[in-house]
Amino acid sequence: MSDKKIIKIYLYTKFERFWHWVQALMIITLLITGIEVHGTFNLLGYQWAVAVHSFVGLSWVILFAFFVFWLFTTGEWRQYIPTTKKLFSVMLYYSIGIFQGKPHPVQKSPGAKHNPLQRLTYLALSALLLPVQMFTGLLYYTWNSWNNSAIPILSVIPLTPIALLHTLVSFMLLSFLLVHVYMTTTGHSLFSHISGMITGWEEIYETTQVEDWEVPAGHKR
């Protein structure tokens, strides 16, 4: 590993950490109860699994709306602006360099918390997968209401494709969760990234130089 001195910077606000852990807990709960509803195992019982799944799912939608509001009122949405600069370097690092003890090609900073690969991943997650999962979940939850709706386009929507799409995205989220947990172990130490999301303080190299493209507009260097 690099012999550069490691220092700590305050990177994650209290709200970011709160949202991260609450959302993680909600997704895990939804995955467990969702799988139980499908009859894979019996933990809470079908009725309780449905009730918990519905309550947590609706709560997730509400909290997600607050998260989106926070992103746009604080300007943190700029952290998710995709870029291809150093994208190949980051991909090469995770596929080869990380196993050779090489330093990460893009270090974190308050103005650039996510590297190019993370930006693309989190943008796809927040702008595509999560909205689709929430929307299909709401359609499924309210199916008895809109299936008998006087609005033609609603009354002809079949339930099966919605359920299948909801299940497919669930497995995609599970895959992301597993990869995400693994990636948390690739920091300067086994738990350095996890510690950062608990305390807000992230470890970086003292000599880290942040390039202009890494700093979203509105953030100070």
* 116 touches 90 (CB < 8 A): yes
> What pLDDT was estimated at residue 26?
96
CB 162 within 8 A of CB 133: no
Give tens-digit pLDDT for 108-117.
Answer: 887 788 899 9
pLDDT tens for 155-170 read 667 788 889 999 999 9
The Cβ of residue 125 has, within 10 Å, a number of other Cβ atoms equal to: 17
For the chain, which residues make up each domain, given as ranges? 6-214
User: What average pLDDT score do residues 11-29 get?
Assistant: 94
At 66-120, the pLDDT tens digits run: 999 999 999 899 989 888 888 999 999 998 988 888 888 888 887 788 899 999 9
Please determine, for residue 134, whether its predicted confidence score (pLDDT) is greater than 90: yes
pTM of the entire structure?
0.82
Distance CA 219, CA 78 (A): 9
Average pLDDT of the chain to the nearest whole number? 84
Of 122, 113, 79, 74, nearest in space to 193 by CA: 113
**Which CATH fold would you assign to the domain 6-214?**
Fumarate Reductase Cytochrome B subunit (1.20.950)
C-alpha to C-alpha distance for 79 and 82, rounded to whole angstroms: 8
Distance from C-alpha of 104 to C-alpha of 94, rounded to nearest angstrom? 9
User: Whole-angstrom Cα distance, residue 155 to residue 144?
Assistant: 10
How many other C-beta atoms are found inside a 10 Å radius of the C-beta of residue 152?
Answer: 7
31: pLDDT strictly greater than 90: yes
> At 9, which helix (H) or strand (E)?
strand 6-10
User: What does the pLDDT average to over 125-141?
Assistant: 92
60 has a pLDDT exceeding 50: yes
